[in-house]
């Protein structure tokens, strides 16, 4: 029996393979299980229809309300730094398209993602439903307050530029947990890691990045 091949999908599949090999060649993707997940998640489902032919290029794309879906290399950097574990419960700040949450969802137990813009929350929810992902919960609200209800989190990933590390995030993070956030108020920020230990907070710097700002 001949299995019909959807020409649109196979075209996207080829582009997705090219995106992933590019990310590997540049050293952004290193871990086998993360590489596999980047191959599985159809990024073109997470962009607007008019942008779908650019979905596998390595740059951010506009979604709604002046927001963007982060560039694939940025999602790769954040995901590799998070060292996702199958048992993890992760909090993301800024659901946007839902793509970063989708990637994480296949590597961890549960992802909670807070989005301030109702329209984007609905967009992310629809995109996740289209890809059959069920372990992501989208909460409409101000992510600066984290999400108290499901704390504590193994990891917190902030995907909008924040002027500071808010106290709620540190409180809602497990001891031993890791927070990743682009910290800064200008166009460029410093990708910052905060490890919460029994003795206090350990800060690491992972270089420059450019995210859209956190809004209140």
Q: Which residues bind ligand SAH (CB under 6 A)?
A: 67-70, 93-94, 96-97, 99-100, 114-117, 120, 142-144, 159-160, 212, 214-216
Closest to ligand SAH by CB, 115 vs 154, is 115
Nearest-angstrom CA–CA distance, 163 and 48: 29
- Give the list of residues 6+ apart from residue 130 with CB closer than 8 angstroms, or none: 45
Least distance (Å) between residue 5 CB and ligand SAH: 29
**What are the Cα distances from residue 13, in Å, to 1, 26, 43, 195, 206?**
22, 20, 10, 37, 31
- The residue (of 77 and 200) whose beta carbon lies closer to ligand SAH is 77
Catalytic residue numbers, as ranges: 70
Interacting residues of 95 by C-beta distance below 8 A, sequence separation 6+: 101, 113, 114, 115, 120, 121, 124, 138
What is the Cα–Cα distance from 210 to 161, expressed in whole angstroms?
8
- Distance in Å, CB of 50 to ligand SAH, minimum: 16
Q: Which is nearer to ligand SAH, 115 or 176 (CB)?
A: 115
Length of the chain: 216
Tokens of 95: 């659901």
Could you give the CA distance from residue 43 to residue 62 in angstroms, rounded to a whole number?
13
Taking the least distance from each CB to ligand SAH, the nearer of 62 and 176 is 62
Kindly tell me which of 141 and 202 has the beta carbon lying closer to ligand SAH.
Answer: 141
Residue 113 β-bridge partners: 92, 138
In which element (H, E) is residue 16 found? helix 7-25
Quote the least distance from Cβ 1 to ligand SAH, whole Å: 38
């Amino acid at each position: 029996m001949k299995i019909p091949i959807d020409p649109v999908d196979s075209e996207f599949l080829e582009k997705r393979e090219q995106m992933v090999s590019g990310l590997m060649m540049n050293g952004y993707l290193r871990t086998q299980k993360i590489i596999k997940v980047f191959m599985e998640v159809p990024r073109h489902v997470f962009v607007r229809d008019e942008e779908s032919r650019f979905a596998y290029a390595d740059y951010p794309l506009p979604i709604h309300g002046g927001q963007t879906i982060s560039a694939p290399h940025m999602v790769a950097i954040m995901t590799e730094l998070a060292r996702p574990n199958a048992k993890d419960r992760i909090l993301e700040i800024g659901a946007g398209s839902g793509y970063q949450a989708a990637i994480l969802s296949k590597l961890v137990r549960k992802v909670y993602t807070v989005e301030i813009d109702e329209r984007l929350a609905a967009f992310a929810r629809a995109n996740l439903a289209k890809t059959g992902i069920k372990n992501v919960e989208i909460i409409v609200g101000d992510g600066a307050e984290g999400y108290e209800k499901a704390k504590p989190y193994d990891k917190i990933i902030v995907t909008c530029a924040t002027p500071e590390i808010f106290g709620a995030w540190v409180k809602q993070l497990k001891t031993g947990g890791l927070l990743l956030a682009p910290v800064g108020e200008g166009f460029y920020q410093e990708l910052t890691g905060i490890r919460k230990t029994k003795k206090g907070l350990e800060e690491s710097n992972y270089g420059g990045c450019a995210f859209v700002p956190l809004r209140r």
